[in-house]
Amino acid sequence: MPPNGEVNVSIEDGALGAVSVPPTAVQGVVGCSSSGTALQLVSTRNKAALIAAFGYGPLVEDAALVIDAGGTVLAVKVASTTPGAAGAVTFAGTGTSVVTVTGAAFDEYDVWMLVTLGGTIGTGPIRFQLSLDAGRTYGPAISLGTANSYAIPNTGLTLHFAAGTLVTGDTAKFATTPPLWSMADVTSALSVLGASSQLWGSGIHVVGTMTGSQATTLQANLETLATSQFRYTYGLIDTRDFTSTDVTEAAWMTAVEADFASVDAKRVIAGTGYVNIQSPIKNPVCGAPMYRRCLSWAAAQRMVQVPVHVHLGRVKDGGLTGVTGPGTDSLATDGFIYHDERINPGFNDARLMAARTIVGRPGVYIRNANMLAPPGSDFTRLEFRRVMDVACTVAHDTFEEFINDNVRLNADGTILEKDAQHIEAIGRQALKSALVAPGSATSVTVVVDRSQNIQTTSILKVTIRVFALGYLLEIDLNLGFQSTAEAA
C-alpha cells in the first residue's frame, strides 16, 4: 500500500500491565433542548448566550454547570426523538378540583404543588407554591386569580384545574421523563464536533440515559474520530436511575452492572447513581431547584477544573461542587436512592464510576473514574485516557511538520543518525513541554527507527512511550504503642 500522506497514530495498550483497582477546560456537550438548531455547534462560556441558542432542557442545564465551573462548552443539540412526558397527577387533600397536566416536558422534573390559600376555580382567591425538585425548594406563592390553568415557565408544562375547589394544604404531585435522543443523532453530533476546527480536552458528555449497547456504539464513533479526524477524546455517559420496578438497591445495581458487563470501551466512562445538583439556571417560580442528576453531571464539572492527570476523586480537592447525595441526613427519608460505594460496593468492580462518602469528611466524592476498558488495558481509569489523548494530539501535530520533508540517508536507505536525533529531539521536547513540565507524566521517550528503509518506503517509523504517574489508591498504615525496648 502506498504512503497516505498522513501521520498515523497507533496506541500501544498493555505496556503498564494489569491494574488491580480500576479510575482542561473545554468540553463537548451533546443533548436535547427546547429550542435551537439541531446539529449546529455553539461554542460559549456565557449562560445567557447558551439559553438564547438552545432554550431549556438537559443540554442547557449540563452545559451551564460546566460554564459555572469555569469551562467553555462546545454544545450540540440533538433532536428529541422521544419527547419528555408527564406522568399521572397524585392529588391529596379535600379540594374537589381535578388537577391535570399537559405538555412535553423540557427536562426531568418532580413537580409538587402546595396550595397556600384555598378557593373556588374560576373565582378565586387561590394561591399555591411550586417545586420542581420533589419539595427540596419551593418558590413564592403564585396567585391563580380567575384562571383555570397555569403554564409553568421554562418547563413546557401547563397545569389545568377542573371546576371545583382547592383547599389550603392540598397537594398535587407528578413526575416527568426527560426528552431523549436517538443514537443515530448522537453519532451525527459527534461528526459535527469532529469536523469543527476547535479543540477540547475534557471529553464529550452525552447527556441522557445510555444503555450498554449504546455505549458500544459510542466507543466505535469515538474511535472513528481518533483514526479519521485525529480527535483523541472520550465520552462521558449517564446510566439509568433506580426505579420502583427495581424493588431494592441491590437489584438495581445488579441490573445496571449486567447491562454493561460485556461492554469493551476504552474511550467511554459511565456514571452510576444519582445525586442532587443545584440548577445553574433560576426558574421564575421556584428559584434554583436541586435537580436529581446522574453522577456524571458532577464529574463533568470536575473534569474542567483539574489537570488531565488528576484523579477526579482526589481527596485533597474536596467533595464535588454543589452536590448533595449519600451521607446527607436530610435526604435519608426523601424516598430516593443515593448510592454510596463505601456502604454498598459493587459498581467500582464493575468498571463503573460511582459516588462515595469518606468518614470524617463532608461532601460526596468519586470512588474511581473508571473507563469501560477490559481488564489488562492501560486505560482502566480516566486519568490515563486523558494523558494519552494529550500525548496523541501533541505527537500528531508535532510530526505533521515533517510530512513531505526531506532527510539525509545512509547508503542502505536508512535515515542518517544526525537527522534521526534531530527529529527525536523535536518530538521529545514537544511531549515534555505538554506532559512532563506540567506534571502530567514522569517522562517521555521518542525513538526513530534506524532500520526502516526510507528510500524505498518513504515512511518514517517513530516509537513514543509515556511513563505515567503512579496513583495512591490505597494506603496501609501500621499503628501501635511503642514498647519500652523500642524507645530505648
Give the tens place of pLDDT for each residue, 98-122. Answer: 999 999 999 999 999 999 999 999 9
Neighbours of 478 (CB within 10 A): 4
Mean pLDDT of the chain: 93
User: Rounded to an integer, what distance in angstroms lies between the CA atom of residue 261 and that of residue 245?
Assistant: 21
Contacts 24+ apart (CB under 8 A), 12-18: 12/465, 13/266, 13/377, 13/378, 13/379, 14/376, 14/377, 14/378, 15/378, 15/465, 16/378, 16/384, 16/468, 17/376, 18/375, 18/376
pLDDT at 17 over 60: no
Query: Which range among 18-22, 222-226, 373-377, 472-476 shows the weakest confidence by mean pLDDT?
Result: 18-22
For 245-258, b where at least 16 C-beta lie within 10 A, e where not — what string?
Answer: ebeebeebbeebbe
Give the tens place of pLDDT for each residue, 238-288. Answer: 999 999 899 999 999 999 999 999 999 999 999 999 999 999 999 998 889
Per the listing, cell 470501551 goes with: 265
pTM: 0.92
Give the tens place of pLDDT for each residue, 330-366. Answer: 555 578 999 999 999 999 999 999 999 999 999 999 9
φ/ψ (deg, to 5) at 455:
-60, -40
Sheet strand arrangement including 99-102: 99-102, 157-161, 149-152
Chain length of the chain:
488
Enumerate the domain spans of the chain: 26-81+180-366, 85-177
Task: Provide CATH code, domain 26-81+180-366.
Answer: 3.40.50.11780
